[in-house]
Structure 1
């Protein structure tokens, strides 16, 4: 009750959100989130099953095409004329009384392939074998430890004699 002499305090305006009070807006938001979460799992399952069904349908079509192709090949293999043609073409067979001819066109000649030389004998260590393949055979004699290789011998120059022409 307002006291005497004081004016009545204006009432605090209530906050609204989309025309609803704040409490009601929160409750509405919670209900919408719950509905969205409730529908999300079945929707995801539905979409994944649809994708799987589409994949299986295309796989079934591919398998049916392959089956038709295999049935056509089976019919071809059962045909005696096809078998005779393949025997002539692949194996070079002829019927009795026929004279076989083999025509060689100029561009069809291939020289016989030369066999590769046998690999050198293994020395036992993999790095030695690798080096032998890359750089040629290893030297058969190894210098003893602690000795230096011999230097090449160069003959000393012959002193010139005075008065003798050099040639």
Structure 2
């Protein structure tokens, strides 16, 4: 009894055909997946843009209300109606959390052009600048 070969001609042809079909389908499937991903991204972008449009429409409707405009003018620009007395209270104390008082002065810093000129002169003479000498 003769042994049959494990790989027959028909099986080889079938394997080649299956590989050819798989290779021919690989590119279209990859493009399909890429297009689906792009569609999802575009839908997300559309949702963000629609939310922005809704917010702008709400802002527009608020700006068409004369009461809102008056309120904003009073709050932001300190406007008053004619004949009305308005007061602005100035705070004598600095806000909490800020260091220093109004009487303290920061260390005087020379203007940038003076620092630049001193560095040019120092490079010419081979010496350091006043700022560099003060740091060192």
TM norm. shorter chain > 0.5:
yes
Is 1:134 aligned to residue 132 of structure 2? Answer: yes
Which structure shows the higher helix fraction? 2
Q: Greater relative contact order (Cα 8 A, min sep 6): structure 1 or 2?
A: 2
| Number of matched pairs | 122
Alignment of 1:71-110 (within 5 A): 71-104=57-90, 108=95
Query: Which shows bigger deviation, 110-119 or 74-83?
Result: 110-119
Q: Matched residues in 2 for 1:72 and 1:129: separation?
A: 64
Q: Spell out, residue by residue over 1:39-92, the C-alpha distance to the aligned partner (whole angstroms, 9 max, x if none).
A: 111111111111111111111111011000001111111211111111111111
Partner residue, 1:142: none
Instruction: Give the alignment's TM-score, normalised by structure 1.
Output: 0.60
Relative to structure 1, the CA distance from residue 38 to residue 96 in structure 2 (aligned partners, 3 Å threshold; closer, same or farther) is same
Q: Matched residues in 2 for 1:126 and 1:74: separation?
A: 59
Q: What stretches of structure 2 of length at least 5 have no aligned partner?
A: none
Q: Spell out, residue by residue over 1:80-136, the C-alpha distance to the aligned partner (whole angstroms, 9 max, x if none).
A: 111111111111111122222233566648755957443346232475796321214
The Cα RMSD (Å) is 2.9
Instruction: Give the alignment's TM-score, normalised by structure 2.
Output: 0.72
Q: Matched residues in 2 for 1:66 and 1:30: separation?
A: 55
Q: Matched residues in 1 for 2:47 and 2:87: separation?
A: 46
Q: Matched residues in 2 for 1:64 and 1:118: separation?
A: 52
Partner residue, 1:13: 3
- Structure showing greater radius of gyration is 1
Which of residues 39, 50, 65 in structure 2 aligns to 1:64? 50
Q: Matched residues in 2 for 1:80 and 1:126: separation?
A: 63
